[in-house]
């Protein structure tokens, strides 16, 4: 069972996040002071640290620098109300692995924790999950709700490109270019054929279309 | 009453002063000239009288006067040779002389009324004869028996006002005209510095509170420049305070909101089905409050945005905004089409245009209702770029449109969202020197949002600019 360190000084928010994460099956230790966090993080082995920036007795950034200076490699997700770009940059520069702005959606936070756990286990580089679809780049395997989905090479390449660029539109020209270097000449409707095949195999709603923009996946990353 | 400009006021006053000075100089000149001429002619009178006296010396020495002292007839009087007398006759209408011996007239320069009126006294006198003013000088000699009076018409009479105007007035008038032109030109030239200051400040963006460089301005404008710099410094301070305040407010409100949201999510997991609808609504209210805070922060921060125009792919920005808006929707619930389907370059500030597009497209997606349709067109002209975003939603009634572009005004529709979307877009477009217009769709129900961007110049090497225009 993964152990989380939660650093949050707000008397309402801290217990609320702990309660929600406990329901998701994590063991959560809540701290409200920066100095306590430093001691606890060094003292015992946590899987992920969730860190608020505005902590008393040592801000989140100070705690983070302190932990990284001490050689602690535990993944850290900053959870804060400050959303300015330079504040994000400061957080990431100090050694954070991810950055979430309040009021954070707990399902999203849970997903980001899972992502950090996967990364810690060294699995993050070869798989990518969006919704129920998981793509294994190493094995060229696509699963839908855990079941293998047989895809042609063209379909796989198109899905891989769409998933790598999730939540952004990929133009038809870019998709054609992705196919072009693979085999001979791409037919003018090759992309459309592949997309409709993908929709048949992994669900009609997985790939969004906008005329003039292209195709996109990643509607609901939950 | 019309407000006169500072330059006109100054111009009028200096001109008036100039005219008064001219008049004063003319008056002084007139008075001095009159007095000098008076002195000169008095001296002439004295000279003439002494000359006459000298000319009569011989006759007096010869005792002629004494011998013939009973003779009253003065015609051909041997006192003065006929040549001498004639010299006076010629200028009789302006000069004359009379000679008295023991009070009796013994010689005169001619016949006429003035002679009778000549004062029989020594010294300088003024008398009037036939409407003219005359000046006389009486010389007494020979044991007060001989009185010579020489008179001349008053010299000032020849020195008339009309001659003064013609001889002095015209040059003065010409001088005044030249002065008017030079003065106007000088004023315009000096006040152009003030105009330059005004246009320099007007051209600044809201967030540009850098002090003005005092060395770049004339010393006269320095107090104004210093005062402006002080004001800039104070504004900067107030501005930073406001930024810190908005950040604090956001932080303070986001934390309890996050707690409410977290508890609601816990509730959603644990609550019986009977409560699920209420829990969902609770989550929606929290999300809307959060969207409102985001909108307020966005509006506040837009003022601080420094505008940095560069060549931007507008099509790409539209694609990003549509992707963001559609990413959280159930797939295939929204049909969207964008024309053209390729790069459209335009010089403008990318982050401001991104904000405007996100606000407008997000708004359209929210109001287009499920199964809705979004039509976006990018049209590049020579002078401007027009982006139209049309939805198939209920549209907005004409009287409500202006209101919606202002802060905190909601449309009649009760969908989620902060209600600040269109005012954020309006603000961003204003900072881009562009415009936003809301219209009915010409092809049926729905709202058409028209964003117009003017031609601006990039703060970049000209090559990129040329590429953007080509």
Q: For position A83, which CATH number holds?
A: 3.40.50.2300
Q: Give the pLDDT confidence score for residue A218 in this predicted structure.
A: 74
Residue B91 contacts A, CB cutoff 8 Å: no
A69, A47: one domain: yes
A10, A98: one domain: yes
User: What b/e readout covers B446-455, taking b as 16+ CB neighbours within 10 angstroms?
Assistant: bbbbbbbbee
What is the band of A220 on the pLDDT scale with cuts at 50, 70, 90?
low
The C-alpha atoms of residue B326 and residue B457 are separated, in whole angstroms, by 33
In a domain, A178, yes or no: yes
A60, A147: one domain: no
Domain boundary among A120, A153, A176: A120
The CATH architecture of the domain made up of B307-469 is 2-Layer Sandwich (3.30)
In a domain, A186, yes or no: yes
CA–CA min distance A71, chain B (Å): 31
> Given the structure tokens 């905004």, which residue do they identify?
B321
Other C-beta atoms lying within 10 Å of the C-beta of residue A218: 21
CA–CA min distance A14, chain B (Å): 8
Q: Which residue has the higher pLDDT, B11 or A121?
A: B11
Q: How many CA atoms lie within 13 A of A19 on its CB side?
A: 18
A54, A111: one domain: yes
Domain B6-162 has CATH 3.40.720: no
Q: Is the pLDDT of residue B215 over 90?
A: no
Token digits for B385? 């770029």
Q: What is the CATH number of the domain that holds A138?
A: 1.10.10.10
User: Which of A190-194, B128-132, B149-153, B293-297 bottoms out in mean pLDDT, i.e. has the lowest?
Assistant: B128-132
Close Cβ partners of A142 (under 8 Å, ≥ 6 residues apart): A133, A134, A135, A136, A148, A149, A151, A156, A159, A202
A55, A155: one domain: no
Q: Give the pLDDT confidence score for residue B430 in this predicted structure.
A: 87
Q: Give the pLDDT confidence score for residue B414 in this predicted structure.
A: 43
- Give chain A positions within 8 Å (CB) of B322: 169, 210, 213
Q: Is the pLDDT of residue B405 over 50?
A: yes
Strand-strand pairing, A127-130 and A98-101: unpaired
What is the band of B221 on the pLDDT scale with cuts at 50, 70, 90?
confident
**In whole numbers, what is the pLDDT of chain B averaged over residues?**
77
Q: Is A55 left (phi over 0), alpha (psi -120 to 50) or beta?
A: beta
A15, A114: one domain: yes
Q: Which residue has the higher pLDDT, B177 or B456?
A: B177
Q: Give the pLDDT confidence score for residue B415 in this predicted structure.
A: 47
Q: Is the pLDDT of residue A62 over 60?
A: yes
A79, A27: one domain: yes
Token digits for A74? 């535990």
How deeply is B36 buried, as exposed, middle or buried, from its count of CB atoms within 10 A (0-12, 13-18, 19+)?
exposed
Q: Would you call B255 and A102 a contact, using CB atoms and an 8 Å cutoff?
A: yes
- Give the number of domains in chain A: 2
| pLDDT, average across residues A34-38 | 89
Q: Give the pLDDT confidence score for residue B450 in this predicted structure.
A: 93
**In whole numbers, what is the pLDDT of chain A averaged over residues?**
84
- Give chain B positions within 8 Å (CB) of A107: 265
Sheet of A141-144, strands arranged across = A127-130, A133-136, A141-144, A147-149
* CATH top-level class of B204-306: mainly alpha
Q: Which residue has the higher pLDDT, B107 or A99?
A: A99
- Give chain A positions within 8 Å (CB) of B327: 167, 216, 218-219
- Domain limits for position A186: 127-216
A188, A205: one domain: yes
- Give chain B positions within 8 Å (CB) of A53: none
Using DSSP's 3-state secondary structure scheme, residue B406 falls into coil
Q: Which of A12, A50, A210, A211 to mutate to test the interface with B (most CBs of B within 10 A)?
A: A210
A56, A12: one domain: yes
Q: Which residue has the higher pLDDT, A138 or B229?
A: B229
A58, A148: one domain: no
Q: Is the pLDDT of residue B7 over 60?
A: yes
In a domain, A50, yes or no: yes
A131, A211: one domain: yes
Q: Is the pLDDT of residue B135 over 90?
A: no
- Could you tell me what percent of chain B has a pLDDT over 70? 79
| pLDDT, average across residues B389-409 | 73
User: What b/e readout covers A156-174, taking b as 16+ CB neighbours within 10 angstroms?
Assistant: bbbbbbbbebbbbbbbbee
Q: Is the pLDDT of residue B469 over 60?
A: no
User: What b/e readout covers A52-88, taking b as 16+ CB neighbours within 10 angstroms?
Assistant: bbebeebbbbbbbebbeeeebebbbbbbbbbbeeebb
Residues 375 through 414 of chain B touching chain A, CB cutoff 8 Å: 376
- Give chain B positions within 8 Å (CB) of A171: 341
A143 φ, ψ to 5°?
-120, 145
Residues 232 through 271 of chain B touching chain A, CB cutoff 8 Å: 247, 250-252, 254-263, 265-266, 269-270
- Is B95 within 8 Å of B150 (Cβ atoms)? yes
| pLDDT, average across residues B363-387 | 84
The C-alpha atoms of residue B29 and residue B378 are separated, in whole angstroms, by 79
Among B272, B71, B27, residue whose Cα is nearest residue B168 = B27
> Given the structure tokens 């020979």, which residue do they identify?
B142
Q: Give the pLDDT confidence score for residue A181 in this predicted structure.
A: 63
Q: Give the pLDDT confidence score for residue B304 in this predicted structure.
A: 67
Closest Cβ–Cβ partner in A167, A205, A213 for B330: A205
What residue ranges do the domains of chain B occupy? 6-162, 204-306, 307-469
> Given the structure tokens 């449109």, which residue do they identify?
B401
Q: Would you call A13 and B330 a contact, using CB atoms and an 8 Å cutoff?
A: no
Q: Give the pLDDT confidence score for residue B369 in this predicted structure.
A: 63
Same fold, B6-162 and B204-306: no
A30, A81: one domain: yes
Q: Is the pLDDT of residue B462 over 60?
A: no
Domain boundary among A70, A103, A120: A120
In a domain, A12, yes or no: yes
Q: Which of A26, A85, A212 to mutate to test the interface with B (most CBs of B within 10 A)?
A: A212
Q: Give residue-wise pLDDT tens across range B432-452.
A: 889 998 888 887 788 889 999
Q: Would you call B250 and A83 a contact, using CB atoms and an 8 Å cutoff?
A: yes
Using DSSP's 3-state secondary structure scheme, residue B442 falls into coil
């Amino acid at each position: 069972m993964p152990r989380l360190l939660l650093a949050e000084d707000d008397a309402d928010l801290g217990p609320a996040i702990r309660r929600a994460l406990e329901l998701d099956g994590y063991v959560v230790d809540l701290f409200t002071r920066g100095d306590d966090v430093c001691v606890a993080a060094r003292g015992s082995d946590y899987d992920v640290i969730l860190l608020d920036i505005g902590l008393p007795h040592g801000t989140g950034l100070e705690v983070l620098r302190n932990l990284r200076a001490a050689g602690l490699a535990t993944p850290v997700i900053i959870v804060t109300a400050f959303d300015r770009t330079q504040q994000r940059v400061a957080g990431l520069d100090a050694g954070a692995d991810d950055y979430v702005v309040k009021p954070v959606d707990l399902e999203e936070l849970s997903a980001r924790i899972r992502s950090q756990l996967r990364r810690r286990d060294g699995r993050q580089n070869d798989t990518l999950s969006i919704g129920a679809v998981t793509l294994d780049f190493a094995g060229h395997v696509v699963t839908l709700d855990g079941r293998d989905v047989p895809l042609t090479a063209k379909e796989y390449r198109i899905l891989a490109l769409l998933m790598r660029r999730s939540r952004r539109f990929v133009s038809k020209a870019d998709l054609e270019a992705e196919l072009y270097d693979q085999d001979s000449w791409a037919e003018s409707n090759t992309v459309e054929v592949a997309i409709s095949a993908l929709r048949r195999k992994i669900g009609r709603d997985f790939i969004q279309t906008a005329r003039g923009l292209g195709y996109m996946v990643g509607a609901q990353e939950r | 009453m019309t407000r006169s400009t500072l330059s006109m006021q100054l111009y009028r006053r200096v001109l008036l002063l100039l005219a008064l000075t001219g008049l004063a100089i003319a008056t002084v000149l007139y008075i001095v000239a009159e007095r000098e001429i008076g002195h000169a002619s008095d001296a002439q009178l004295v000279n003439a009288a002494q000359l006459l006296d000298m000319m009569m010396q011989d006759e007096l020495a010869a005792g002629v006067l004494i011998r013939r002292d009973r003779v009253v007839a003065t015609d051909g009087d041997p006192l003065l040779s006929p040549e001498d007398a004639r010299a006076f006759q010629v200028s009789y209408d302006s000069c004359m002389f009379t000679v008295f011996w023991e009070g009796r007239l013994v010689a005169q320069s001619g016949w006429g009324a003035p002679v009778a009126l000549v004062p029989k006294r020594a010294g300088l006198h003024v008398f009037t004869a036939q409407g003219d003013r005359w000046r006389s000088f009486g010389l007494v000699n020979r044991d007060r028996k001989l009185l010579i009076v020489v008179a001349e018409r008053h010299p000032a009479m020849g020195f008339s006002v009309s001659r003064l105007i013609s001889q002095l007035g015209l040059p003065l008038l010409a001088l005044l005209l030249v002065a008017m032109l030079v003065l106007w030109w000088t004023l315009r030239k000096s006040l152009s510095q003030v105009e330059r200051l005004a246009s320099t400040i007007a051209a600044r963006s809201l967030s540009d509170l850098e002090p003005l460089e005092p060395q770049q301005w004339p010393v006269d404008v320095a107090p104004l420049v210093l005062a402006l710099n002080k004001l800039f410094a104070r504004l900067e301070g107030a501005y930073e305070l406001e930024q810190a305040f908005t950040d604090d407010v956001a932080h303070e409100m986001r934390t309890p909101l996050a707690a409410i949201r977290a508890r609601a999510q816990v509730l959603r997991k644990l609550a019986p089905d009977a409560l699920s609808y209420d829990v969902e609504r609770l989550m929606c209210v929290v999300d809307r409050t959060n969207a409102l805070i985001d909108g307020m922060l966005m509006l506040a921060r837009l003022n601080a945005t420094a505008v940095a125009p560069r060549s931007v792919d507008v099509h790409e920005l539209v694609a990003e905004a549509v992707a963001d808006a559609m990413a959280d929707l159930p797939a295939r619930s929204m049909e969207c089409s964008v024309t053209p389907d390729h790069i459209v370059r335009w010089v403008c500030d990318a982050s401001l245009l991104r904000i405007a597009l996100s606000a407008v497209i997000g708004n359209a997606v929210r109001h287009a209702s499920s199964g809705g349709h979004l039509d976006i067109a990018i049209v590049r002209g020579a002078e401007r770029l027009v982006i139209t975003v049309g939805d198939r939603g209920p549209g907005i009634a004409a009287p409500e449109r202006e209101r919606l572009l202002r802060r905190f005004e909601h449309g009649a529709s009760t969908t989620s969202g902060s209600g600040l979307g269109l005012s954020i877009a309006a603000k961003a477009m204003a900072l881009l020197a562009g415009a936003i217009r809301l219209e009915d769709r010409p092809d049926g129900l729905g709202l058409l949002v028209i964003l117009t961007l003017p031609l601006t110049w990039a703060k970049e090497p000209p090559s990129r600019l040329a590429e953007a225009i080509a």
